[in-house]
Amino acid sequence: MDHTGLRAIHHCRLVDERLATSGQPSEAQLGLIAQAGYETIINLALHDDPRYSLPDEAGSVAALNMRYVHIPVAFRAPKREDLLRFFDAMDAHIGRKLWVHCAANYRVSAFLGLYNALRLGQPPERAFALMREIWQPDATWQQFIDEQLLAGYYARRAAEYDQVYRKPERQAGLRQLEAALPALFDGRRVLEVACGTGWWTPHGAARARHWLATDLNPETMAVARSKPMPACVEFRTADAYTLAEVAHETFDAAFAGCWWSHVPLSRLPGWLDTLHARLAPGARVVMLDNRYIEGNSTPIARHDDEGNGYQLRRLADGSTHEVLKNYPSVEHARALLGARAARVQWTDFPHYWLLDYTLA
């Protein structure tokens, strides 16, 4: 079949026999898409700008006997819910001829890159190759992509995550840390950020008054919920970067295990401010995370321009993921906390560091 007409659609990419992506097609171009046998149109653009959208795309698509799925993604503020709806729509139409468009194939190529990486398990280079042909994401989109890649990696890893805590060489240090945690939160109302599979939760919560364990991923929290926990533990989905889901509560302590290392350097000050805003003055904050142990830790494969390190990690399903991982020094942590923290203590354990401070 001659695809010349289809290829003329703004930023059109015919990905394979069944999947095509593009910017906004005109009414006439929708007709060509239908003639070429496409069954479903997914549109990620908004309907509200006549410069970029058709007067009634839903009606035009229906008149051509195609199915129309509209997932409006605000270009300046892409959301995780949008991405998850897109993933579901892609999964629901797999095997059918599908045309996915937005205004200029920016939103679509970024979402498709995330789908390729997180649902299909493609390595990052391949997953985002189409996007890079079309555009280089701006700061908003790069941050969105990075956040989703990290969260998606941990969702995929949930079932095998606890293997890291079964490494023989870590056992002695883990027992030391587990023994140290209960006294740090004695009688406190604690917010745990990025609790994951809840490895530290029962130890930290052992003597707490209330412990709210939060994470972005239902997959990791499902593992945590399946474990025996002290009665004071409650679980809730929350994004560590906004903590919007706990906006109306205050706590007199916070805990984050193995989260600091995944926060891009440029986002650490803002993230600390967000966390501290949920805490009462004088609250206790405890973070622990990995130390870099030569020959034991996964090597850093590259650094980006702002100095963040990235590791290449492989999961049991064979997928490879590039994961941001930093190894802060005590000096860096102290400098960053500055006047925000009092009584700062940093303790090195064999494979982990523990930071304990009081909110000034």
Ligand X SMILES: C[S@@+](CC[C@H](N)C(=O)[O-])C[C@H]1O[C@@H](n2cnc3c(N)ncnc32)[C@H](O)[C@@H]1O
Q: Which of 258, 268, 336, 344 binds ligand X (CB under 6 A)?
A: 258
Query: From residue 59, how far is each of 44, 50, 193, 339 by CA, in Å?
Result: 16, 16, 45, 59
Rounded Cα distance between 292 and 144, Å, is: 27
- CB of residue 162 to ligand X, shortest distance in Å: 8
DSSP code string of 301-329: -EE-TT--EEEEEE-TTS-EEEEE-----
- CB of residue 241 to ligand X, shortest distance in Å: 5
State which residue, 64 or 258, has the beta carbon closest to ligand X.
Answer: 258
Q: Count H helices and E strands in the chain, helices first.
A: 13, 15
State which residue, 217 or 326, has the beta carbon closest to ligand X.
Answer: 217
Asked if 42 contacts 98 with a C-beta cutoff of 8 angstroms, the reply is yes
The alpha carbon of residue 197 and the mean position of all alpha carbons in its chain are separated, in whole angstroms, by: 16
330 binds ligand X (CB under 6 A): no
State which residue, 178 or 239, has the beta carbon closest to ligand X.
Answer: 239
State which residue, 137 or 204, has the beta carbon closest to ligand X.
Answer: 204
State which residue, 14 or 312, has the beta carbon closest to ligand X.
Answer: 312
Q: Which of 241, 292, 327, 349 binds ligand X (CB under 6 A)?
A: 241
**Which 273-312 positions form the footprint of ligand X (CB under 6 A)?**
none
213 binds ligand X (CB under 6 A): no
- For residue 42, is it left (φ>0), alpha (ψ between -120 and 50) or beta? beta
- 322 burial type by CB count under 10 A (0-12 exposed, 13-18 middle, 19+ buried): buried
- For residue 180, is it left (φ>0), alpha (ψ between -120 and 50) or beta? alpha
Window 161-200: contact mask with ligand X (x via CB under 6 A): ---------------------------------xxx--xx
**Size, binding site for ligand X by CB under 6 A:** 20
Q: Which of 38, 86, 115, 259 binds ligand X (CB under 6 A)?
A: 259
State which residue, 150 or 190, has the beta carbon closest to ligand X.
Answer: 150
- CB of residue 185 to ligand X, shortest distance in Å: 15
Q: Which of 239, 268, 274, 336 binds ligand X (CB under 6 A)?
A: 239
260 binds ligand X (CB under 6 A): no
- CB of residue 342 to ligand X, shortest distance in Å: 25
- CB of residue 18 to ligand X, shortest distance in Å: 32
Nearest to 282 by CA among 359, 334, 200, 225: 359
Nearest to 325 by CA among 349, 353, 293, 303: 303
Query: From residue 4, how far is each of 30, 33, 266 by CA, in Å?
Result: 14, 12, 45
Q: Which of 240, 275, 285, 354 binds ligand X (CB under 6 A)?
A: 240
147 binds ligand X (CB under 6 A): yes
Rounded Cα distance between 186 and 210, Å, is: 10
Rounded Cα distance between 270 and 250, Å, is: 18
- Binding residues for ligand X (CB under 6 A): 147, 150-151, 154, 194-196, 199-200, 215-217, 220, 239-241, 257-259, 262
